[in-house]
Amino acid sequence: MLQRSIGTRRKVMTRLMQLVSTDAANEPDASREAKPSEKPIPSDAKLLDAYSEAVIGVAEKVSPSVVKIDVQHEARGGRRNWRGRGGGGSGSGFIFTADGFILTNSHVVHGASKVSVALSDGRKFDAELIGDDEHSDLAVLRINAPNLIAASFGDSQAIRAGQLVVAIGNPYGFQATVTAGVVSALGRSLRSNSGRLIDNIIQTDAALNPGNSGGPLVNSHGEVIGVNTAVILPAQGICFAIAGNTAKLIAGQLIKDGRVKRGYIGVAGQNVTVPRPVVRLHNLLSESGVLVSAVEDNSPAQKAGLQEGDIIVGYGEQAITSIDDLHRLLTDKQVGIKAPLVVIRTPEKAVIDIVPEERK
């Protein structure tokens, strides 16, 4: 009886071993090369790590150059008053030379009686306003401090839509806040507080808030390619920065002269449509121009004989279709240079010589 039981167990164990051997034979050989369809799907972890490393590297490189700016304004009655955070009394800026020059927005410091700057290492200094250009919304400050780290500029003309960018600033007073996004669009235009149009604006979806104004917009190499300047508050992800190349040009003029020189002719005007028969009669290049509504006394326009009711349609060899066209042409290079101004004195066309002066 015992021998029969042992024999039965042996048969069962033998059968189990056969089954195990069969399953092992049917398993795919790990040494065999996998078919293309069997290759593992690559993980996104490496891509995310590379993105994180890029942002971290930029933040560590540029953050020591970013400053918090507090502005004091004279209140009525001669008393001083600190304006609330997120208004015009608190903003951002960045050191762009080792000897203490700081770039920021004009609307952050315009009209200030006192400006103070806080560095990322905790040091605080009073700042001198070197120059303020409301028309481009840029201003330059200077502090007298040792061991400053300056940010470097990149070429803003080399950037492309979709490119990674990082914004660093002090939104609502939260110092050294880092946000990242992409260049959403290039070549936008933005109206400054003075009413003049700023061209070559960069649109980005890097999160900006009040207090970011004046801070740097930086590429993946840690180079400044823009100066953060505006947000559309009801919208999300629509933010704007002044192009770095524009900022460099304006900053150089502010450091040199304390102002930006621009041409001035002394007229108030509005954009109008030129009647089509007049366009055909004089073979004009455009159906719009600038209607002169007022001429300032003793201005270049008055000296040239410009009259109320004239429609400006050309300056030099360029067609004038709007006030913005006229602003773009009246640069510092036009100051003191005689140029022909083409006007329509309905229904006749007249060409008068005008000599722009420097805008006061």
Three-class DSSP category at 69: strand
For domain 263-358, the CATH superfamily is PDZ domain (2.30.42.10)
Contacts of 28 (CB under 8 A, 6+ apart): none
pLDDT number for residue 203: 97
Cβ neighbour number for residue 4 with a 10 Å cutoff: 7
pLDDT number for residue 118: 96
Closest CA to 206 of 231, 187, 242, 176: 231
Say if CB 169 and CB 157 are below 8 A apart: no
- CA–CA separation, 56 vs 164, rounded Å? 13
Q: Is 32 exposed, middle or buried (CB count within 10 Å of its CB: 0-12, 13-18, 19+)?
A: exposed
Check 65, 90, 92, 213 and give the catalytic one.
213
Q: Could you tell me the two tokens for 212?
A: 């970011």
Q: Would you list the domain boundaries of the chain?
A: 61-142, 156-247, 263-358
pLDDT number for residue 347: 82
Query: What's the whole-number mean pLDDT along residues 173-202?
Result: 93
Say if CB 161 and CB 186 are below 8 A apart: yes
pLDDT interval class at 276 (50, 70, 90): very high
Between the CA of residue 142 and those of 53, 246, 341, what are the distances in Å? 32, 20, 41
Check 63, 65, 70, 107 and give the catalytic one.
107
Name the residue with higher pLDDT: 191 or 43.
Answer: 191
Contacts of 23 (CB under 8 A, 6+ apart): none
pLDDT number for residue 81: 44
Residue 138 pLDDT > 70: yes
pLDDT interval class at 232 (50, 70, 90): confident
Is 23 noted as a catalytic residue in this protein? no
Closest CA to 214 of 238, 231, 232, 189: 231
DSSP character at residue 98:
T
Is 107 noted as a catalytic residue in this protein? yes
- Per-chain mean pLDDT for the chain: 87
Go through the chain and tell me how many residues it has. Answer: 360
Query: Is the bond leading into 275 cis (omega within 30 degrees of zero)?
Result: no
- CA–CA separation, 341 vs 320, rounded Å? 10
Residue 31 pLDDT > 60: no
Name the residue with higher pLDDT: 45 or 221.
Answer: 221
pLDDT interval class at 40 (50, 70, 90): low
pLDDT interval class at 29 (50, 70, 90): low
Percent of the chain with pLDDT over 90: 72
pLDDT interval class at 195 (50, 70, 90): confident
Query: What's the whole-number mean pLDDT along residues 126-153?
Result: 96
Residue 92 pLDDT > 60: yes
pLDDT interval class at 173 (50, 70, 90): confident
pLDDT number for residue 236: 85
Between the CA of residue 66 and those of 2, 76, 122, what are the distances in Å? 91, 32, 12
Between the CA of residue 108 and those of 67, 87, 127, what are the distances in Å? 13, 8, 13
Domain 61-142 shares a fold with domain 263-358: no
Q: Tens digit of pLDDT for each residue in 297-345?
A: 999 999 999 999 999 999 998 999 999 999 999 988 999 999 999 999 9
- CATH code linked to domain 61-142: 2.40.10.10
- CA–CA separation, 293 vs 64, rounded Å? 51
Name the residue with higher pLDDT: 7 or 48.
Answer: 48
Check 132, 133, 137, 325 and give the catalytic one.
137
- CA–CA separation, 19 vs 17, rounded Å? 5
Indicate the residue type of 89: G
pLDDT interval class at 234 (50, 70, 90): confident
Name the residue with higher pLDDT: 130 or 43.
Answer: 130
Query: What's the whole-number mean pLDDT along residues 248-257?
Result: 95
Name the residue with higher pLDDT: 5 or 213.
Answer: 213
Say if CB 96 and CB 103 are below 8 A apart: yes
- CATH code linked to domain 156-247: 2.40.10.10
